[in-house]
Chains A and B, each alone.
Chain A
């Protein structure tokens, strides 16, 4: 039942790119092996997994060499592979839980009676105890990921492909999904390839680690403990997250001072009249990073948008101190767009929602241009940020074609480009390898020393350890309180 994988001189080049995303790859994975796939941001991990799942279209790029699943070309191996991606929202196909899980089986022509038996087994395997007619849009992020996993498992694939399936989840959601995968693999014996920056999540579950080299081929391949023990330092240098070699954050040289942006009795909502969370009064200080934490659905992102003057408070107030408002009303939501961008820079949860330009370079220049900065000044700012964020090779690429980690760095860059005294960041370190993570943390640390005030939504413990000066926890209880 378990499938094998063989790559022979395989490579892939995205259309519109000069460089090969994956290059000269040779590897062989035996049925039943459980592989952790690592590599620096942009080394082609997602591309390889998408190719194995048979979802890389020939119109999307050019292929070299040969890639086989069970001796078949991935495109012809319908149902032999099952893919779960990182974004919970883009994997739900149908409106009801049962129908969504059944979708893959239907496509494979599984007889009706067998389908429903498989659906209930798959839902049980992933621990989703929900009625079959529950609406899929009512599920939490962790539930949606387990639903996606169930939909894949119901097809009984021989090769399970997971592309950062827990990246968008809170710690409880991460554990739910990991445990569900562990249970199902023990049951089915399928081959597993999982991409994940956070090695410790999957370490106990996998028996082999393969590390892609950004310049082509493999950097390392072998049992997890041996690879990490013998090559840990080198791998960490190449951007792989190795628990024994955590990236070292620079030391702060100054400490926080007065508050610049605060809240009072704030209740936030996405759409007027549907409160999401009551927020404990908080103050974002110059030189300080206020971390906003809490489980999925607790209203952190809504709070970030409200603090950033992009949503009006349901009740209560966001108050900019006079030093930030400089002559304007204290409520950021009342400021004009150009006044706002000079004062508060925002990074959205989904970077794709905020891209406006056709190239990476122009994307970074949007803010400075809106502020009418001199062309020479804009160029200096943009070029410096491109280098620091490791995006200089991609200056002319379309932002939408970047990898997940690269998009995230670009969106952080757009907020840094305007030198606003306040930054509101929603998951700024999402999808980063250890090197780009350290670069982002360094950039923010320098800004903090220069007196920038930051509020950041984050599940990333290392990020909070490195930079947070204050932690505000939103709870599901607050949601209930705000709704009542």
Chain B
């Protein structure tokens, strides 16, 4: 649903690889050039993947809010250096902290936005297929995680249910005790659900000896390689420009 049209049906493993490809080099440097180049390239690619605008804004809203907030925090409390513009208690806005803030904001956007585009509408089963068939992760682990993933959706409803139950039984209160009591209830209920699911899986021969087969084929074809190559290109240009202009600054260096 509402995924980027060009990316629908692409092996989620390629999406995962692309996100990692973009994220790793960008967290290894603290400069603003690499992040802004990557960001501009990503935004230029938006029309190419045909992501519907509404879906894009809705999915990425949290990132657009979080990135500037992180920037403000760094501006106020980041490593001070250079001219100081404003000081109050622990806060100290300096040339250095402002540069760092800008770089951080851009970096969160440059890493977060592609992740949103790539993972919107991703098919959990297809990801599991890829992890197990192509990366050869253990089937028990992958399928367990996949099944558990479905249960996460039920947690919110269980929490409301528990709230109603406590109200119906006359023990609802607004205190911290209520929260801890209900949280414990949720834990018990989640364990029950997990146990039942495990039983259902076991009843269908999950964990049977012998080689497991896979009903769906996980393919890594030219579309997947194209996606990974594009991401590699984006990140290579970003790092290249940054290095060529002398802005690249390795974390900790």
Tell me, rounded to whole Å, the shortest Cβ–Cβ distance linking B134 to chain A: 16
Among A102, A108, A155, A308, the residue within 8 A (CB) of B168 is A308
- Nearest residue, chain A, Cβ from B210: A109
How does the 8 Å CB contact mask read for A69-99 relative to B, with 1 for contact and 0 for none?
Answer: 0000000001101110101001111111011
Contact B164 A79 (CB under 8 A): no
- Nearest residue, chain B, Cβ from A80: B205
Cα distance A342–B196 when bound, in Å?
34
Among B171, B196, B216, the residue within 8 A (CB) of A337 is B171
Cα distance A354–B182 when bound, in Å?
11
**Which chain B residues (152-174) contact chain A, with CB distance < 8 Å?**
153, 158, 161-162, 164-173
Tell me, rounded to whole Å, the shortest Cβ–Cβ distance linking A341 to chain B: 3
Among B199, B208, B214, the residue within 8 A (CB) of A78 is B208
Cα distance A107–B215 when bound, in Å?
10
How does the 8 Å CB contact mask read for B163-207 relative to A, with 1 for contact and 0 for none?
Answer: 011111111110000000100010011001100110111111111
Task: List chain A residues, Cβ under 8 A from B170.
Answer: 337-338, 340-342, 366-367, 370-371, 418
Cα distance A370–B178 when bound, in Å?
14
Number of A-B contacts (CB under 8 A): 147
Task: List chain A residues, Cβ under 8 A from B211.
Answer: 109
Contact A151 B192 (CB under 8 A): no
Task: List chain B residues, Cβ under 8 A from A311.
Answer: 164
* Contact A400/B188 with A109-B210, A418-B170 known, Cβ cut-off 8 Å: yes
Contact B215 A112 (CB under 8 A): yes
Contact A110 B205 (CB under 8 A): no
Q: Does A35 contact B (CB under 8 A)?
A: no
Q: How many residues of A contact B (CB 8 A)?
A: 65
Additional pairs, 10, CB under 8 Å, beyond known A55-B199, A82-B204, A107-B212 = A55-B202, A93-B147, A94-B125, A112-B213, A336-B172, A337-B166, A341-B169, A348-B165, A353-B161, A400-B188
Q: How many residues of B contact A (CB 8 A)?
A: 46
Cα distance A111–B209 when bound, in Å?
15
Which residues in B have some Cβ–Cβ distance to A below 8 Å?
124-125, 146-147, 150, 153, 158, 161-162, 164-173, 181, 185, 188-189, 192-193, 196-197, 199-217
Contact A354 B192 (CB under 8 A): no
- Nearest residue, chain A, Cβ from B154: A89
How does the 8 Å CB contact mask read for A323-362 relative to B, with 1 for contact and 0 for none?
Answer: 0000000000000111011101110100011101000000
Contact B208 A305 (CB under 8 A): no
Tell me, rounded to whole Å, the shortest Cβ–Cβ distance linking A354 to chain B: 4
Contact B162 A55 (CB under 8 A): no
* Contact A83/B203 with A93-B197, A116-B215, A366-B171 known, Cβ cut-off 8 Å: yes
* Contact A93/B215 with A354-B165, A367-B170 known, Cβ cut-off 8 Å: no
Contact B216 A104 (CB under 8 A): no
